[in-house]
């Protein structure tokens, strides 16, 4: 399902809304026989679904649940940034 983020500038938090209206058929067709999948109201979807695309929220949850995995991800990101910077600096010569 396609989701888009509607952002407000200021102190309010981003409000997520569905990108397709209620009742719109979604062409997923995972079953040969059966009813087509139809979009629901935003309120009918579980709360955790709206946080899947929020990387900051995912990292916070990972930090709470598995600190070692969180640390590994941070170290990996830092290493990638360091390698990119080194490659950039080597190309400047």
The model's pLDDT over 18-69, given as tens digits with 9 standing for 90+, comes to: 788 888 888 887 777 888 888 999 889 898 888 898 999 999 999 999 999 9
Tell me if 64 is assigned to some domain.
yes
DSSP class per residue in 43-91: GGS-GGGGGTT-HHHHHHHHHHH-HHHHHHHHHHHHHHHHHHHHHHHHH
For residue 2, is it within any domain? no
Number of folded domains that form the chain: 1
Q: Alpha carbon of 68 to those of 59, 62, 71, 81: distances in Å?
A: 12, 9, 5, 20
- Say what the pLDDT of residue 30 is: 79
Check residues 31 and 15 and name the one with the higher pLDDT. 31
For residue 7, how far is the Cα from the chain centroid?
15
Please report whether residue 75 resides in a domain: yes
Q: Is residue 35 part of a domain?
A: yes
Q: Is residue 78 part of a domain?
A: yes
Residue 31 lies in a domain: yes
Contact 21, 15 (CB under 8 A): no
Q: What pLDDT is attached to residue 15?
A: 67
**Which residues span the domain enclosing 35?**
24-45+53-92
Task: Output the six-digit token pair for 54.
Answer: 């929020």
85 within some domain: yes
Rounded Cα distance between 50 and 46, Å, is 8
Does residue 14 lie in a domain region?
no
* pLDDT of 91 higher than 50: yes
């Amino acid at each position: 399902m396609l989701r888009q983020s509607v952002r407000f500038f200021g102190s309010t938090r981003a409000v997520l809304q569905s990108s397709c209206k209620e009742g719109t058929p979604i062409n997923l067709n995972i079953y040969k026989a059966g009813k087509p999948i139809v979009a629901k109201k935003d309120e009918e979807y579980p709360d955790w679904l709206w946080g899947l695309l929020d990387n900051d929220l995912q990292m916070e949850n990972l930090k709470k649940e598995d600190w070692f995995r969180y640390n590994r991800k941070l170290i990996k990101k830092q290493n990638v940034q360091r390698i990119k910077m080194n490659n950039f600096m080597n190309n400047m010569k």
